[in-house]
């Protein structure tokens, strides 16, 4: 195997090799699904997951090509319906999945040690008010700062969940508090989804089921929210 000229390209070389292997595996076998999928998709489930490199839904849940429609955003957040980020981003994918493709299950899947939720939790603990975020972001675009204001702005959608768990579990360790914030934030995202009337109607008619899941990177355990109580339990 040729050694890459620039060691910084190692990650890219590995990805290109991965694409070749995928083509050999998925297109060389007459039983393979991929060539047939060029005609269209009919996923069995949709998932809103974090952008984190450690929590790839297809790998964790053993999904095959065409099985799972995935939206990956920092901290797997669904903003409130009145926010324009929701209109232009996450909601467009939700409409594609549920309205256009008629997918019957939508899962919001969070995870342990989520840097996005940690950002929101740190801001909540420091008393940063999400209502001041737009002014902060505007100031950023008018400055030459390299601080991650877009990250802070986006993760402010998790702040309501963080404030709740700080009020309820302020005595817990930082790690435990983060777990509660990660799980509460999943429930908030489900609430924000249900704020859309058309989605509520799909759920009420039994055509759609919403799920809240949380994956523990350290143990591999999957925790599932009880739809009645919102309590998470490992399976």
Nearest-CA neighbor of 152 among 75, 80, 70?
Answer: 75
Nearest-CA neighbor of 184 among 210, 215, 160?
Answer: 160
Our finding on whether 208 is near Zn ion (CB under 5 A) is no
Q: How many chain residues touch Zn ion (CB under 5 A)?
A: 4
CB closer to Zn ion out of 52 and 123: 52
The nearest distance, CB 37 to Zn ion, in angstroms, is 28
Element (H, E) at 106: strand 105-111
Choices 10-18, 46-54, 140-148, 188-196 (CB under 5 A): range interacting with Zn ion: 46-54
Euclidean distance between CA atoms 217 and 50, whole angstroms? 13
Considering only residues 133 through 192, tell me which ones interact with Zn ion, judged by CB under 5 A: none
Q: Supply φ then ψ for residue 212, to 5 degrees.
A: -120, 115
Nearest-CA neighbor of 105 among 20, 192, 212, 19?
Answer: 212
- Tell me, rounded to whole angstroms, the distance of Cα 180 from its chain centroid: 16
Our finding on whether 94 is near Zn ion (CB under 5 A) is no
Choice from 43, 46, 49, 52 touching Zn ion (CB under 5 A): 52
Contact criterion met (CB below 8 Å) for 195 and 207 = no
Contact criterion met (CB below 8 Å) for 221 and 234 = yes
Contact criterion met (CB below 8 Å) for 103 and 46 = yes
Rg (CA), the chain: 20
CB closer to Zn ion out of 76 and 192: 76
Choices 22-30, 63-71, 107-115, 198-206 (CB under 5 A): range interacting with Zn ion: 107-115
The nearest distance, CB 154 to Zn ion, in angstroms, is 12
Choice from 50, 107, 158, 186 touching Zn ion (CB under 5 A): 50
Task: Supply 189's token pair.
Answer: 């995202």
Choices 106-114, 122-130, 155-163, 217-225 (CB under 5 A): range interacting with Zn ion: 106-114
Choices 50-58, 124-132, 166-174, 224-232 (CB under 5 A): range interacting with Zn ion: 50-58
Contact mark string toward Zn ion, 114..133, x via CB under 5 A: x-x-----------------
The residues binding Zn ion (CB under 5 A) are 50, 52, 114, 116
């Amino acid at each position: 195997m040729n050694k890459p000229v620039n060691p910084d390209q190692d990650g890219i070389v590995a990805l290109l090799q991965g694409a070749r292997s995928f083509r050999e595996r998925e297109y060389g076998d007459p039983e393979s699904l991929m060539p047939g999928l060029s005609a269209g998709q009919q996923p069995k489930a949709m998932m809103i997951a974090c952008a984190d490199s450690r929590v790839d839904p297809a790998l964790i849940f053993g999904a095959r090509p065409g099985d799972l429609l995935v939206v990956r955003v920092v901290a797997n957040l669904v903003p409130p319906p009145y926010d324009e980020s929701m209109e232009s981003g996450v909601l467009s994918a939700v409409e594609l999945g549920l309205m256009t493709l008629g997918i019957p299950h939508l899962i919001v899947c969070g995870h342990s040690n989520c840097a996005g939720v940690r950002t929101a939790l740190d801001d909540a603990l420091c008393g940063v008010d999400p209502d001041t975020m737009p002014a902060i972001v505007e100031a950023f675009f008018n400055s030459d700062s390299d601080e991650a204001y877009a990250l802070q702005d986006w993760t402010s959608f998790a702040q309501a969940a963080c404030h709740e768990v700080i009020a309820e579990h302020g005595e817990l360790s930082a790690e435990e508090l983060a777990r509660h914030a990660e799980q509460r934030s999943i429930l908030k995202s489900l609430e924000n989804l249900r704020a859309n009337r058309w989605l509520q109607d799909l759920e009420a008619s039994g055509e759609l089921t919403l799920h809240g899941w949380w994956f523990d990177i350290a143990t591999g355990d999957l925790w599932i929210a009880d739809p009645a109580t919102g309590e998470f339990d490992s399976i």
